[in-house]
Amino acid sequence: MSNLLDLPASTMAEPLDVLAKWESSTPDEFLLEFLIHGVTAQGRPFRPSDWSERLCGVMSCFRPGGYAQGRDALIGYSPFVRPVSVGDTKCVLVDPAIREVEPMALDFVMNFARDNGLRVTLAQATVAT
């Protein structure tokens, strides 16, 4: 899992603004990477503890060029949806470019965050691998 370094305080504020922006935007307007934090609206850690790896595993087939098949197929996360951590909080970093591969994939991830009451913020920092 990667670690997101020095996330500016401004990206940690107003978590519902990202969901509201997504709901009111057209596919071409929502272009910034965002984080889904493993923290519920009540401030508790989201369970199960491996939720971020599970979500990214489900999304792993959505990648540029589609699936690799046969002996050249590799197991790994999609470059569009990958687990990271911010401090001690597990998160998922989502690149809205996933919409170019499968439009419903971005909807799935955003609905997962909304349905589970998870915090969503813009990601404006570099991910260290």
Query: 48: cis peptide before it, omega within 30°?
Result: yes
Q: Is 50 exceeded by the pLDDT of residue 128?
A: no
Distance of alpha carbon 124 from alpha carbon 109, whole angstroms:
19
At residue 40, the pLDDT reads 87
Question: Domains in the chain, start-ordered, CATH in brackets?
Answer: 2-128 (3.30.70.2340)
Would you state the pLDDT for residue 14?
A: 44
What confidence tens digit (pLDDT) does each residue in 5-28 have?
444 443 343 444 565 555 555 555
Q: What angle do CA 100, 103, 107 make, to 5 degrees?
A: 130
Name the more confident of 128 and 70: 70
CA–CA distance, 110 with 56 (Å, rounded to integer): 13
Burial of 24 (0-12, 13-18, 19+ CB in 10 A): exposed
pLDDT band at 84 (very low <50, low <70, confident <90, very high): very high
Query: Could you tell me the pLDDT band of residue 93, with boundaries at 50, 70 and 90?
Result: very high
Tens-place pLDDT, residues 31-81 = 678 899 999 888 899 999 999 999 998 898 888 876 656 655 667 888 999
More confidently predicted of 128 and 89: 89
pTM over 0.85? The answer is no
Q: What pLDDT sits at residue 13?
A: 39
Cα separation, 12 vs 108, whole angstroms: 22
